[in-house]
Amino acid sequence: MTGTVPFGFFALALTVTSCLAAISEVKTNNPVTQKPGRFLSLPVAQKCSQRPKEFTYKGRNYFYSGHTQQYKTSKVDWLEARNICREYCMDLVSIETQEENNLIFRLIQQNDAPYIWTSGRLCDFKGCENRPDLEPKTVNGWFWSATRGKISATNQTSAGWTYIPWSKSGHKKTPQPDNAEFDINGTVESCLSVLNNVYGDGIAWHDIGCYHEKPFVCEDSDELLSYVAATNPGLQL
């Protein structure tokens, strides 16, 4: 479920936040892991070198947090999950094809995982205004934050797929994304989670408030691996 629309402003946002994180790190001389900030974390070369490699698909490594010693019982919010992955030169999983989706659905099913975070994100922040191509947001406003690739329209079967991965049900018993929590407490459901039959709807995609705490699946980030490889010659990755 990927597109060719360049999300240039995401790249810019990433660069800016990375620079801010770098500046902040220099000032405090603290490891990124100890900062309570809400910026994206930088990769940590040593952690990248020793990152968990549970399985490989199309040349990229993945791991499920529930299968690691350190994060076995961890549930974290969406940004924290991204940052844990990013320190390993990974990011939350981006599910760009049906084959990859089947792989993730199987992982959830076989391990009876209740839900996981993906890198899917609604473009509803600064930089997303005045983009007719992202309207209506609930249909065309979704992208994979790890790769900045566009997610196909949420209400139709996309090219190369035989089904719509978004759930047909949820809190309001209507198809996802439904932004249901907004009606309850004003929280926008801006993050994409795969839920395991929470609404009697099987394993399927849901828009969820990003503050919810969940286990997660990390996937190799080409961008972060390239960066760490270039800045750490000879490092085994």
For the bound state, the minimum distance from the C-beta of residue 208 to Ca ion, rounded and expressed in Å, comes to: 6
For the bound state, the minimum distance from the C-beta of residue 204 to Ca ion, rounded and expressed in Å, comes to: 10
What is the spatial distance between Cα 147 and Cα 221, in angstroms, rounded to a whole number?
Answer: 8
- CB closer to Ca ion, 43 vs 209: 209
What is the spatial distance between Cα 211 and Cα 226, in angstroms, rounded to a whole number?
Answer: 30
User: How does DSSP assign 70-114, residue by residue?
Assistant: TTTT--B-HHHHHHHHHHTTEEE----SHHHHHHHHHHHHHTT-S
Q: Are the CB atoms for 171 and 210 separated by under 8 Å?
A: no
- CB closer to Ca ion, 77 vs 223: 77
- CB closer to Ca ion, 208 vs 228: 208
For the bound state, the minimum distance from the C-beta of residue 167 to Ca ion, rounded and expressed in Å, comes to: 8
Q: Are the CB atoms for 43 and 88 separated by under 8 Å?
A: yes
For the bound state, the minimum distance from the C-beta of residue 192 to Ca ion, rounded and expressed in Å, comes to: 10
- CB closer to Ca ion, 96 vs 207: 207
- CB closer to Ca ion, 43 vs 170: 170
Residue nearest to Ca ion (CB): 207
Q: Is the dihedral of CA 89, 87, 211, 61 positive or negative?
A: positive
Q: Cα separations (Å) of 115 from 75, 131, 133, 173?
A: 10, 31, 30, 18
For the bound state, the minimum distance from the C-beta of residue 47 to Ca ion, rounded and expressed in Å, comes to: 33
* Residues contributing to the site for Ca ion (CB under 5 A): 170, 178, 180, 189, 206-207
